[in-house]
Structure 1
Amino acid sequence: MTTGATRAARPHERTGAEPRTPYGRRLSTANAGPRPAVVGFGTATPANSYTQREMLELFRIEDPRIRSVFLNSAIERRYLTLPPELDDGTRKTETQGELLAKHKEQGIRTGAEALETALKRAGLALADVGYLCCVTTTGLLTPGFSAHLIRELGLPVSASRLDVVGMGCNAGLNGLNAVAAWSAANPGQAAVMVCAEVCSAAYVFDGTMRTSVVNSLFGDGAAAVAMVTDPSGPAQDEDAAPAGTLLKFASRIIPEAVAAMRYDWDDDQGKFSFFLDRDVPYVVGAHAEEVVDRLLAGTGLGRADIDHWLVHSGGKKVIDSVKVNLGLSPHAVRHTTGVLRDYGNLSSGSFLFSYERLMEEGRVRRGDYGVLMTMGPGSTIETALVQW
């Protein structure tokens, strides 16, 4: 039981209740039938990482307010692609064009690595990919990452493609929804999602508190999942690791907070500048309960039936707000806080870094339920219900 209380009896454990099927007996019959399953996953980062203190020293930040933001972020280290060092030891001020070039180069490299790892874990070949969805927010690229990855890796030129651009940290679940739908409509074929975020390609170093909050939080990294819908149903091999089947999605946009997370054009700097409102954690937390309850509505499940919570590593205050509003224990969000500590906020792929940690932990049992949750601009909360 992940909330820290004594777990209530599951539907299949109650007297007179029928055992759950691998897909969950109590789910609506409208959701019956073969389901898309995550059969492989992978992550990748740039080569270089920095502690928060190292970042403060590298950029010679002395302002005590800014130093406090960095050092009280619950982040220890982030992987970043920093500007080149100049002869005087300072860092080059990158133009918007140079930032976009960084986004392209590092996004392709880490995205390709994560994709190949996901396919290897799934026992699939590059030639097996029938659908490729690429998600990013840290730069504008046309054609998108999907076309570049097909060229870079030699993926099938006949693969269907989707590029999700500009939706923000929540976009990993928006993309996963589309990938799951394609997978369900094309059983037996492999569908892949890649979240490639180069957050250091969206940094502005102007010494203001606005940009310093962003610069203290985000890190670079890519994550990928491979999905297949098996027409015969979920694998029954007891020796194999359980695959997470996608059962349901639920969303909640908060229109009155549309400006709380956004890109603005900075005329003085000649580049885009990301803004985070200080009230974002409380806005997200206040609506988390509503969207989770809607996700579970009609399934016969309650929050006490959820074994695993994989929440976007949006920041310490965001995680705390979600935890309080949903009544989750620190243990329930251990992977969320662990990813924040070791990588920072990785934008759209953060929840997949947590998914990888959960699966590598080896505690997931067949029949377990999980909730995936991402949050981002809109303001938006996306959720998904998974069963292993």
Structure 2
Amino acid sequence: MGGSDPDGCGMGVRMQQRLRLPDFLHGVNLNYAKLVYHHLISHLLTMFLIPLMVVIAILTSKMNPGDVRQLWFHLQHNLVSILVCTGLTVLGCIAYIMTRPRAVYLVDHSCYRGLPQHKVRFDRFLEHSSLTGYFDESSLEFQRKILERSGLGEETYFPEAMIQIPHHPSLKAANEEAEQVVFSALDTLFLNTSVEKKDVGILIVNCSLFNPIPSFSSKIVNKYQLRGNIKSFNLAGMGCSAGVLAVNLANDLLQVHRNTYAVVVSTENITQNWYMGNKKSMLISNCLFRVGGAAILLSNKSVDQGRAKYRLLHTVRTHCGADDAAFSCVIQEEDSNGKIGVSLSKDLMEIAGGALKTNIITLGPLVLPIREQLLFFATLVARKLFNAKVKPYIPNFKLAFDHFCIHAGGRALIDELEKNLQLLPVHVEPSRMALHRFGNTSSSSIWYELGYIEAKGRMRKGNRVWQIAFGSGFKCNSAVWEALRDVKASPKNPWEDCIDNYPVQTGS
């Protein structure tokens, strides 16, 4: 997701005005406190049971032989009561096992890497834009400035139809782009995991702007001859955060359907969605979005725990669509000349900031250490009840996560989240490098970032990863994963031909 600010080329300078800390957290104090309180109360029983069990164990260890014989005498004369209690306990354990949330494992994921002849250098992009005849001099200069400040490198990919002069944004060309990206990612995924196609019980495809008939999920079923009773879904129009949303849907389905695999495919299509007009707010997407896609294999089979890379801990979805301004801040429409493009509202950054706040309100109590939550709560009480002049305590999310995969929507978005969440350069390195190497690949960008961390050999057993993405509607979605082992990059990782060249300096 880009931004309407030409200097920001992403979430823009308006976010700097709206999301500065501590003002960023000032509006979430009361809601966050309520969630912290709810979180503590929800675990109150566990907090009391553990000390109780310790006390019982200590007392039992101090019993003498006479006490033990007396206890055995009582048990013999209360056999019926003991059997009833034991039976109820067993039934309770069975009910708990049957109804508890099933663990969902990420077995592996793969990302598409384009062909060398499809790389788009800046001079080639600008030459192509000039030769099409769609843009006036002002628009060409505007695009040049966007590219220079975008954080993109010279090796991002365009589809075949967009490289040709004249370009051919036909339905056939769009299908060819989608098939090349998706089938390539799926071929790699199936090869690396050795999963049988007939064992895939759930298929979810998300692509916002390209929705052919039959759906692309049906194309995948046809291509790989997947089974006839597969649960197939095709998500459209849900923006750059749809990748996390698709994982959330897969997680819900895997709670219902036992012993099966779910395949999630996240991509976007460029061929038919290149804006051919001169409205500045619609030109940004031309400069930022590039070809990309990812395929993810999820499982609820306990036998996969040993070979899976990650376990899904949490998904948090924030939807601000009930608000009219949020609903219309990113919208596909025609300009005054009838040219179709994606229009970005001037209020986009303010709305994105609000969505991020709400998402963090929900996520914080789930992941932050109790110490961080109590410190936040204590400073809130001091400020609200005693009017103490104490600065709001900013929870340290670095204590909850080892790695961050922030949607590579633009340089300014990454800059602001780095500042507002008080992250270190190494935490946002995967996002910056994914933007530089592959551009804004929409919903799949967070998977290129996870691939970067793996290719660098930084993922250790027990590490936690926070994936966060923004999208039209307006949405902010998060997913939290825990590494089940020291994770190495899988074969055909998209970074395998260039990882030694990274990180690079992307400028300011």
Give the letter aligned to residue 315 of structure 1.
Answer: G
2:274 corresponds, among 203, 207, 229, to 203
Give matches, 1:1-388, under 5 Å. Answer: 34-47=102-115, 48-60=118-130, 62-63=137-138, 64-76=141-153, 77-81=155-159, 83=161, 90-92=165-167, 94=168, 98=170, 100-231=171-302, 234-235=305-306, 243-254=309-320, 255=323, 256-266=325-335, 268-269=337-338, 272-299=340-367, 301=369, 303=397, 304-388=399-483
Give the letter aligned to residue 157 of structure 2.
Answer: Y
Q: 1:147 to 1:85 in 2, by over 3 A?
A: closer
SS of equivalent to 1:162: strand
Any conservation in 2 of the 1:129–1:192 contact (CA below 8 Å)?
A: yes
| Counterpart Cα distance in 1 of 2:212 and 2:416 | 34
Any conservation in 1 of the 2:177–2:271 contact (CA below 8 Å)?
A: no
| Counterpart Cα distance in 2 of 1:219 and 1:66 | 15
CA RMSD of aligned residues (A): 2.7
Any conservation in 2 of the 1:81–1:220 contact (CA below 8 Å)?
A: yes
SS of equivalent to 1:170: helix
Q: 1:71 to 1:248 in 2, by over 3 A?
A: same
> Number of residues paired by the alignment?
349
Q: Residue 46 of structure 1: CA displacement? A: 4.0
Q: 1:267 to 1:284 in 2, by over 3 A?
A: closer
| Counterpart Cα distance in 1 of 2:400 and 2:301 | 26
Q: 1:210 to 1:172 in 2, by over 3 A?
A: same
SS of equivalent to 2:178: helix
Any conservation in 1 of the 2:105–2:304 contact (CA below 8 Å)?
A: no
Greater share of residues in helix: 2
| Counterpart Cα distance in 2 of 1:83 and 1:196 | 17
| Counterpart Cα distance in 2 of 1:220 and 1:107 | 9
Give the letter aligned to residue 274 of structure 2.
Answer: Y
User: Which structure 1 residue ranges, 5 or more long, are not aligned?
Assistant: 1-16, 19-28
Q: Which moved more, 1:155-164 or 1:53-62?
A: 53-62
| Counterpart Cα distance in 1 of 2:452 and 2:303 | 28
| TM-score, scaled to structure 1 | 0.82
Once the two structures are superposed, residues 182-230 of structure 1 have per-residue CA deviations (whole angstroms, 9 ceiling, x without a partner) of 2233343111000121124211222332332110010111101001113
Q: Residue 249 of structure 1: CA displacement? A: 1.3
| Counterpart Cα distance in 1 of 2:345 and 2:160 | 25
Any conservation in 1 of the 2:161–2:173 contact (CA below 8 Å)?
A: no
Give the letter aligned to residue 402 of structure 2.
Answer: D
Any conservation in 2 of the 1:200–1:218 contact (CA below 8 Å)?
A: no
Q: Residue 146 of structure 1: CA displacement? A: 0.7
| Counterpart Cα distance in 1 of 2:425 and 2:368 | 26
Q: Which moved more, 1:141-150 or 1:293-302?
A: 293-302
Any conservation in 2 of the 1:281–1:317 contact (CA below 8 Å)?
A: no
SS of equivalent to 2:254: helix
Identity %: 20
Q: 1:107 to 1:84 in 2, by over 3 A?
A: closer
Q: 1:157 to 1:168 in 2, by over 3 A?
A: same
Match of 2:503 in 1: none
| Counterpart Cα distance in 1 of 2:368 and 2:429 | 26
SS of equivalent to 2:239: coil
Q: 1:66 to 1:258 in 2, by over 3 A?
A: same
| Counterpart Cα distance in 1 of 2:463 and 2:100 | 17
Give the letter aligned to residue 39 of structure 1.
Answer: V
* Higher radius of gyration, 1 or 2: 2
